[in-house]
Structure 1
Amino acid sequence: MTKVLILAAGQGTRLRPITNDRPKCLVPIMGESLLERQVRVLKRQGINDIHIATGYLSEKIEQMGFDTSFNSRFDSTNMVESLFSALAFIKACNEDLIIAYGDIIYQDNNLQTLLDCDDEIGLMIDRQWRALWSLRLEDPLQDAETLMMDEQGYVTELGKKPDSYDRIQGQYTGLIKIRADKIASFIEFYQSLDRSATYDGKDFDNMYMTTFLQSLIDANWKVKAALVDNGWLEVDSVDDLNTYEACAKSGELDAFIKLEE
């Protein structure tokens, strides 16, 4: 069995005015919210224990009947803090745990690729990321992050600012799987971190998720790339939404993801 924790505490400022009255995960794409689309894919794979880490306009998610944890400092902290605001849920998890960003959607086969990964940590990595980034951005390199793997497909570096495409063997997509027997150690690692240190230029409360994952890699955790070729979308801005909606109308979006109506 597998449990899921969806991180949905952020304010989605780049999606305003759409997020003036809703959290980012409830932004609609082709008529259905990101959260609803993601939950439907999870449930089709038999994953029904779904917990949401909330913050901004948390009541909108609570009204939908989900079990939730609340990051009371959502407006001054980053995603790692939202993750561990659900510490009680994580501690009680005796099964594999999927951690998912609230602003993504993905196909069933992408999720299955991650579920099939039996390493300590699996990350869904898109090998064909550049096509999607080129759809969204004039200069894909400006918004991309480094991601390097060894010959066995384990991630050795992620989340840095690249100076060339040579440092990008794929893009991390915001979907993580922690193996059941590593969850206690995962928590212990987080709790052992120095709260007074800086992490890639950020204080502890604002550490990036990629920085946290890199810290695990540097501590010799085995982080495996679950490789996919497109089949997912990130919605980060109004421009993203407009681009996806236009491509859906023209039929071009099918090259990136097959969305069920």
Structure 2
Amino acid sequence: MQGLILAAGRGSRLGELTSSQPKGLTPVLGVSMLERQLQAMKAAGLHEIAAASGYKSDMIARYIPQLFHNPHWQTSNMVTSLLGCREFLQADTSIVSYSDIIYPSRVIGQLAQADGDIVVAYDPNWLQQWQLRFDNPLDDAESFSLNPDGLLQDIGQKASTIEQVQGQFMGLFKLTVAGFALISASLAKLTTTEINKLDMTALLSLLLSQGVNIHVMAIADFWFEIDSAYDLAQCEAFMLTHQVELA
């Protein structure tokens, strides 16, 4: 099993923090998100790790030599970066991570053991984090629901009530070689322009509409998404107050 970090974006909402470095290199209590992700993956036994790069790719290469560069990072989304890593994803089962999240290694270990060709990690206790980050959590939260069999049923739509949100996708998922083949087959029906517009939850929603089974793994551990300077301040304050250790 191997790891892949999607690190092509700049993260413009972080302002000056990303004026000279990619979003994933933003430090959280002195250690960048990318370094924390590498530590978690390696501690969980993933020793072959690659990254999708774009903005200031050379800075990512200092940490992860195996890069798949997305030259269109400014005009495309994460799905384009994912497809650009097809050679890597066709070789072995992969744990795929956004570059703007932090989490402990045990979450990687649990995800590695989860059944399914496509497995998304989600937080059923999402509301606490979203209340820290937003005055109104529904300004950002997306729909997320499971069917009676415990598979993903809906994701990525605008949520109008808290009850529509059974959890939030945390930007971490597992793909087997067969799982990536399902994604490739689905996207083969789209134009390059259409693919470039897709974010990850839109891709998952597309797969669901085509009858693809998407498994889920609920997490009970601390994790945090950092999309703005305010998120960063809230994350650091929470970690210090609660003495969070990402081991």
Is TM > 0.5 for Structure 1 vs Structure 2?
A: yes
In the alignment, which residue of structure 2 is the partner of 1:120? 117
Return the match for 2:189 from 190, 193, 199.
193
Asked whether the 8 Å contact 2:105–2:246 carries over to 1, the reply is no
Q: CA separation in 1, counterparts of 2:177 and 2:87?
A: 15
Q: CA separation in 2, counterparts of 1:182 and 1:83?
A: 13
Alignment gaps of 5+ in structure 1: 198-202
1:229 is displaced (CA, Å) by 2.3
* AA partner of residue 231 (structure 2): D
1:47-100 CA distance string (max 9 Å, x none): 011110000000101133420011101111111111112222223x1x211211
Q: Return closer, same or farther for 1:196/1:30 CA change in 2, 3 Å cut-off.
A: closer
* AA partner of residue 5 (structure 1): L
1:103 is displaced (CA, Å) by 0.6
Is 2:163 aligned against 1:166?
yes
In the alignment, which residue of structure 2 is the partner of 1:238? 229
Alignment of 1:168-187 (within 5 A): 168-187=165-184
Asked whether the 8 Å contact 2:95–2:108 carries over to 1, the reply is no
Is 2:204 aligned against 1:204?
no
In the alignment, which residue of structure 2 is the partner of 1:148? 145
Q: Return closer, same or farther for 1:85/1:126 CA change in 2, 3 Å cut-off.
A: same
RMSD: 1.6
In the alignment, which residue of structure 2 is the partner of 1:217? 208
In the alignment, which residue of structure 1 is the partner of 2:62? 63
Q: CA separation in 2, counterparts of 1:221 and 1:181?
A: 12
Asked whether the 8 Å contact 1:118–1:179 carries over to 2, the reply is no
In the alignment, which residue of structure 2 is the partner of 1:52? 51
Sequence identity percentage: 31
Asked whether the 8 Å contact 1:127–1:230 carries over to 2, the reply is no
Count of aligned pairs between the two proteins? 247
Return the match for 1:129 from 126, 130, 147.
126
Tell me the TM-score normalised to structure 1 length: 0.89
Is 2:1 aligned against 1:5?
no
Q: CA separation in 1, counterparts of 2:50 and 2:169?
A: 22
Q: Return closer, same or farther for 1:6/1:227 CA change in 2, 3 Å cut-off.
A: same
In the alignment, which residue of structure 1 is the partner of 2:245? 258
In the alignment, which residue of structure 2 is the partner of 1:30? 29
**2:227 alignment partner, SS class:** coil
Q: Return closer, same or farther for 1:66/1:29 CA change in 2, 3 Å cut-off.
A: same
1:119 is displaced (CA, Å) by 1.0
Tell me the TM-score normalised to structure 2 length: 0.94
Q: CA separation in 2, counterparts of 1:258 and 1:150?
A: 34
